Every structure is written in structure tokens, then in C-alpha cells.
A and B are shown apart, each in its own frame.
Chain A
Amino acid sequence: MSDKIIKKEELTDILKALKETYEVIAPVKENGFYSFKPFKDGGNIDLNFTNTRLSPKSLLFPQSERIFEFNLDEKSKDGYIVKEHPKDYPPSVIVGIRPCDAKAFKLVNINFDNPEFKDPWWVKRMEAMTFIGLGCNEPSSTCFCTSVGCGPFNEEGLDVMLFDLEEYFLVRALTEKGEKLLKQGRVDKDVDEGLQKKADELRIKAEKKISSSVPTDKLKEKKINDLFNAPFWDDVAFACINCGTCTFLCPTCWCFDIQDEVTKTVGDRIRNWDSCMFPLFTLHASGHNPRPEKVQRVRQRFMHKLKYYVDEYNNGVACVGCGRCVKYCPVNVDVREVFSLMNGL
């Protein structure tokens, strides 16, 4: 399919048309920041954003999700039987996702959908989801996507890419799923050469605007023990208050915890995001905690992203350079500095 063009004001009507077939999710500004919310006909969509405060990972991997339910009444016919909590997986489309967050979905997919394990809820949601990306004309000073295998117009994980050309969007289908969706939305006007050229220039210009970079080239060859025992961890961890901001805002943090919540004889098995910053993350039933101190937990976060993942998957680092942790850490623990320390050891 060749590239298409739409006028910006046509987008709302296209999304309305898509709503006949899809659940449409779009960036919305509420309480001063952006998040992905269901698109309303009134047009709550606002694409005038750098990125959302929280990554969109909760759309496929909710912060709290009821996965099973059970009954503890022995006399009941389904007593002590764990049943899957019923759910719908309607075809959905996320509009305006940034390329870094789209790549993050691909990255997290390795954990939830691989030959060994298939997480049914993730897999079904992933199948139902179409990703419409919005290239970043104006990356933030904390963006470092280009040095971690991504970029302001990176196409990985996307079905459609939008190029913001002031009055127009250039619309590029990247997968069959994307083509199908564009047909559904009746996006069929071919782009002319001039705007096509403008889009190409935009991409090059945006890549040049990424002012922040991190070194990653030596992480693979480093010995795990050398990094683990490196002298810098106390300094890196000092300011850290061990909150979950970095892990919860991160599009690639995938750790979770399973909890049973019981009221009288009826219970739910719930999956919640967990965070390696929390002491409870590694607390054993015996009472022993292998990571009782803050410095160990901070080290774990960076070792996982920048070393264990690198070694395990041979696929680069577990970071897409979105910069959320840099921007929102309350005490300015900056992952970019940790990249330099680890890579430069």
C-alpha cells in the first residue's frame, strides 16, 4: 500500500468511523498531563504532546488484573475450583503511540509470548490491538532512543505510522493489520511527491534533534560479576528513595506479583505490577530477603535492564530511551549516567 494523506481535521471523523469496528484509544490531556484513554466522539484526543506521563503498557498489561476467581465453600459445586475470570478482547486500536513505546511492546512481548511461555491475556490483547504510531517531530531533551536501537520514527511494533506535516498527516501502513484498518477508516487518498519528500526530511531532522545519548557497546562483553561488584553502586543508589516511580512509568518493566484476595468464601486471584525497588519483591516465605538493602535493589534494576537482558536475549538493552524515569525520578537518579558507568567500567 502506498503512503496516504489526510487533512488533520479529518482525523476525528476517521476515528469515529473506526469506532464501528474497534475500541479506539488515544492520548487525552487530563489534570495537566497526558494518558491513553478511550476516544470519545466529542473529540477528546489531543496529539499535541511530547509523550504520556505513564507508558501505555497498562493497555496490554494492566496494573491490576483479575485473572482467576475461586470459591472456598466446600459445599458449593464449584468449591475449590479455580476458574478463569471471563473477559472480552475486542479489536482495539491505539492512536498516537510514540515509536519508543511501540518498540517497548515488542520488547515486553519477549517475556509474555515466547516458545516456552504464553501469557494468555497478553497474547489475546496483543492479537486484538492495532498500533498507530505518531512520529516525534520534537523529541524531548531527555529522549535517547537513537542510542538504544530506536528512533523518533522507528517502525518496530507499529502497524501504521503518522507523520505530522503541519496541516496534514502522512499515513503509512506498515503491516497487513495496518492496511486493513486504513481501509476500514476509508483512508485512501495517495500522497503527492512533495509531501512524501517533506516526511522523509522530517524524519532525518528529528533524528538529528535527539541531543541525549548513552553508550551501550561494551555492556555485552563485561563480566556479570565485575558489574555486580562495581564500586559505583553506593553512589548511584544514595539518593534513591526506593519508590516505584521509575519501574511503574517504564514501558519495558514487566515484573508482576500474584495476590489472592478473599472476601468470606469468594476469592479473586489478581495480578499486580510489582517493582524491584520494593523490599517485598524478593521477600521469601521463610522471612529471608536476598535483597534487603536499597543498594541491592537499585543495582538489580540497572543490571536487569543493561546486563542480564542483554546477555539473555542478545537483543540490545531493555530500555527504549523514552526518558520517563529521568524526568520523573523525584531525586534525579539518571539512567543515562548509569549507562556510562556500566559501559565504562
Chain B
Amino acid sequence: MIRYGDTIREIAKKILEEKTVDLIIGFKKGTLPITTEPVLIKDAQNSDQLYWDSFCNMNLANYLPKRGEKIGIIAKGCDSRNIAVHIVENQIKREQLYIIGVPCKGMIDRRKIVSFLGGKEVREVTESDEDITIKGEGFEHTLKKNDYLQDNCRTCMHRNPVIYDAIVGDLVEERKDPDPYDDVKEIEGIGLEERWESFSDLIKDCIRCYACRNACPLCYCPTCFVDESDPQWVGKSIDPTDTMTFHILRAYHCTGRCTDCGACQQACPMDINVRTFTRKLNKDVLDLYGCEAGLSIEERPPLDTYKPDDYDKFIR
């Protein structure tokens, strides 16, 4: 996957020079090892800055809403699905986009690397197709990438971009895993009170920084309900009820729209797996309507449409 970089730079340079697009949204190398930074490139000469490795974990679709230009955008499977969601929800037009698709074998969870090192710091990182080598003061480890993938990447069933104008490598094999929702079933299996307790425990460290919301491409409302002050829907302190209200309402707003890209979990500075909430809703939407978000730019989202074969009888 690391080799994708050259192809990304080549394509970007070409479409900027030919004025197919006005700008490119991609990743550049981070100032720290195992980090990348989303970047906007306007000048073909600067396309060298574009970079690719297994730490390009943010969802670039997040940077699309409200833009009027013609945009070239680098898209993994999940990013491409969120681009599709944006198109369906009229946040961007398909004609505005030149999508440079990246077949993805999963992003590495930097927290898993940090936790493996137990306090030691990564100073240098290199990767091959299957392995990643991390070096620091007095250590060098070669790890299997597959053992350190983000949780959402481990169960991802759409690793190839669903829409694209160019593709930077051969498509990868999709998983045939029949059931990616083991973790959700575990929570479904416990009693109501215990479940509430586990949710309360999950968010007890939340500092209301909204990194989860802001890293999410779905959260593009001009004013989020938590930022409304007149009327004020939810308190602004770290009172557990207000914090829970934020998390549960945010999750519900994502119903039928979430691609489980994992940006929310990766962004959280307190290591809270907020995907716990959205994954249950993803599973429900799949079970009830047979829908997964962002697989097509033709289909309306499941919660703003009606089909005669709706599972609920009251509406028939």
C-alpha cells in the first residue's frame, strides 16, 4: 500500500496541470512518525507533498461540504462511501469531484502501536506489504500490520472504493466474513441496566471536546444541536446526563449514514470507542432494511425513504 504514494502524486500532478481540478485534498507526511496530516494542494508543483502510508486514517470526505471548486480527492473504501453519502445528501456534486480511489488493506491504529511500546517512542517507521518496522531508542520491532489494524478495518467489508475516477492500484479482495457484528451482539445480549452501566462507563472520561463529531464527515450541520444556545437542548458541562445525551443523539443522527470509517474513534483524545453506539445502529439498519451507507449515489438513505416491504406493519 505504501507504493500507492507515487501513483497518487503522478495522478494529482497530471489533473492539476491539465486543470481537470482546481485543487487536491489528500494527506501529507506528519511531523511525527505514525501520523499524517490532511492537506489541500492547489499548485501542481506542490503535489510532491502528497503522501500515502497505513496511517492515513482520517476521512477526507470531511473536508468536502460547502466547497464550490472542482476537487480531486484521495479516497479509501470508507472515504468513497462517505463521498457517496455527501452526494446523496446534496453536500457536493458528483461532477465537482475527481475521485482518486485507493484500494485499502486497512489502516494501522497508532494507539495499538503506542500501547505495544508501553511508553517508548517511535522515532522512525517503515512498512512493506505485510509488515511494519518501528524503530526508537534502543529498539526495533517488525510487526504484522494485520495485528495492529484499527478495529473498524478488521471488520471492513468494503475495502475498495465504491466510486472513483482513477484507481491507484489493483483492487483488493473483499472479506467474505459473514458476521462483522460480534461486539454488538455481545452488548445486545446483556440486560438493560447492565447495558446502561457499560455505556456510562464507556463515556466517563469524555471531555466534550467534540473531536468525534468534528472528525465525522456526517456532522456537517451548520449548527450542531449541542452548540445551539436558544433554545439550549443540552447542558454544556461535563454532567454525565448531558454527556450521554450528546453521544446518544449524535449516534442517532448518524443512523443509516455511518460507514464505520473509524475517524471518531481515532480522533478521540481520551481513547473512547464511540463506535460502540453507531455500530449498533449500523447493524439495525442492515438487519431491518438491508442497507449499508454510501454504497450507491442513486439510493436515498434508508431513514428518508419508504418501501412497500418495510418491516414495520403500522405504516402499510
What is A's interface to B at a CB cutoff of 8 Å?
Answer: 31-33, 48-50, 53-54, 63-64, 140-142, 235, 238-239, 241-245, 247-249, 257, 259, 261, 270, 272, 275, 278-280, 283, 326-328, 330-334, 336-337
B167 within 8 A of A: no
Bound complex: CA of A280 vs CA of B237, how far in Å? Answer: 14
Bound complex: CA of A244 vs CA of B269, how far in Å? Answer: 10
Task: With CB as the reference atom, state the residue of chain B lying closest to A325.
Answer: B269
Bound complex: CA of A247 vs CA of B209, how far in Å? Answer: 9
Known: A243-B209, A280-B227. 9 other contacts (CB 8 A): A48-B119, A238-B40, A244-B209, A244-B210, A244-B211, A248-B209, A261-B235, A270-B237, A334-B32
Given A241-B214, A332-B36, do A141 and B121 touch, yes or no (CB 8 Å)?
A: yes
Given A259-B237, A330-B266, A330-B267, do A275 and B38 touch, yes or no (CB 8 Å)?
A: no
With a 10 A CB-CB cut-off, give which of B30, B214, B268 has the most chain A CB atoms. B214
* CB < 8 Å neighbour of A142 from B32, B236, B239, B266: B32
Bound complex: CA of A259 vs CA of B226, how far in Å? Answer: 14
Interface of chain A, helix or strand or loop or mixed?
loop
Chain A residue contacts of B119, Cβ below 8 A: 48-50
Task: With CB as the reference atom, state the residue of chain A lying closest to B55.
Answer: A332
Q: Which of B257-298 contact A (CB under 8 A)?
A: 263, 266-271
Bound complex: CA of A244 vs CA of B239, how far in Å? Answer: 17
Shortest distance in angstroms between A139's beta carbon and chain B's nearest beta carbon? 10
Shortest distance in angstroms between A52's beta carbon and chain B's nearest beta carbon? 12
B58, A64: Cβ atoms under 8 Å?
no
Q: List 5 A-B contacts (CB under 8 A).
A: A63-B238, A257-B236, A270-B237, A330-B215, A332-B31
Task: With CB as the reference atom, state the residue of chain A lying closest to B38.
Answer: A239
Q: Which of B194-248 contact A (CB under 8 A)?
A: 205, 207-211, 213-215, 223, 227, 229, 235-239
Cβ proximity bits B128-151 to A, threshold 8 Å, 1 near / 0 not: 000000000000000000000000
Chain B residue contacts of A64, Cβ below 8 A: 237-239
A330, B207: Cβ atoms under 8 Å?
no
Which 7 residue pairs spanning A and B have beta carbons closest together? A64-B237, A330-B267, A244-B209, A243-B211, A332-B37, A241-B214, A239-B38
Bound complex: CA of A11 vs CA of B211, how far in Å? Answer: 38
B237, A333: Cβ atoms under 8 Å?
no
Chain B residue contacts of A278, Cβ below 8 A: 210, 227
Shortest distance in angstroms between A234's beta carbon and chain B's nearest beta carbon? 8
Bound complex: CA of A275 vs CA of B210, how far in Å? Answer: 11
Chain B residue contacts of A333, Cβ below 8 A: 37
Bound complex: CA of A142 vs CA of B121, how far in Å? Answer: 10
Bound complex: CA of A141 vs CA of B213, how far in Å? Answer: 29
* CB < 8 Å neighbour of A248 from B207, B236, B263: B207
**How many residue pairs bridge A and B at CB < 8 Å?**
106
B115 within 8 A of A: yes
What is B's interface to A at a CB cutoff of 8 Å?
Answer: 30-32, 35-40, 58, 62-63, 115, 119, 121, 123, 205, 207-211, 213-215, 223, 227, 229, 235-239, 263, 266-271
Chain A residue contacts of B229, Cβ below 8 A: 280, 283
Chain A residue contacts of B235, Cβ below 8 A: 259, 261
Shortest distance in angstroms between B234's beta carbon and chain A's nearest beta carbon? 11
Given A32-B115, A245-B269, do A334 and B31 touch, yes or no (CB 8 Å)?
A: yes
Chain A residue contacts of B123, Cβ below 8 A: 141
Chain A residue contacts of B227, Cβ below 8 A: 278-280
Bound complex: CA of A326 vs CA of B39, how far in Å? Answer: 17
Chain A residue contacts of B32, Cβ below 8 A: 141-142, 326-327, 332, 334
* CB < 8 Å neighbour of A275 from B209, B239, B267, B269: B209
A238, B39: Cβ atoms under 8 Å?
yes
Chain A residue contacts of B268, Cβ below 8 A: 330
B211, A261: Cβ atoms under 8 Å?
no
Bound complex: CA of A244 vs CA of B206, how far in Å? Answer: 12
Bound complex: CA of A332 vs CA of B205, how far in Å? Answer: 22
Shortest distance in angstroms between A329's beta carbon and chain B's nearest beta carbon? 9
Bound complex: CA of A278 vs CA of B209, how far in Å? Answer: 9
With a 10 A CB-CB cut-off, give which of A241, A259, A283 has the most chain B CB atoms. A241
* CB < 8 Å neighbour of A272 from B58, B205, B237, B267: B237
Task: With CB as the reference atom, state the residue of chain B lying closest to A238.
Answer: B40
Task: With CB as the reference atom, state the residue of chain A lying closest to B210.
Answer: A243
Given A261-B235, A326-B32, A330-B211, do A241 and B62 touch, yes or no (CB 8 Å)?
A: yes
* CB < 8 Å neighbour of A326 from B31, B115, B215, B236: B31
B215, A53: Cβ atoms under 8 Å?
no
Bound complex: CA of A249 vs CA of B270, how far in Å? Answer: 10
Shortest distance in angstroms between B91's beta carbon and chain A's nearest beta carbon? 16
Task: With CB as the reference atom, state the residue of chain A lying closest to B212.
Answer: A243
Given A142-B32, A245-B269, A336-B31, do A279 and B223 touch, yes or no (CB 8 Å)?
A: yes
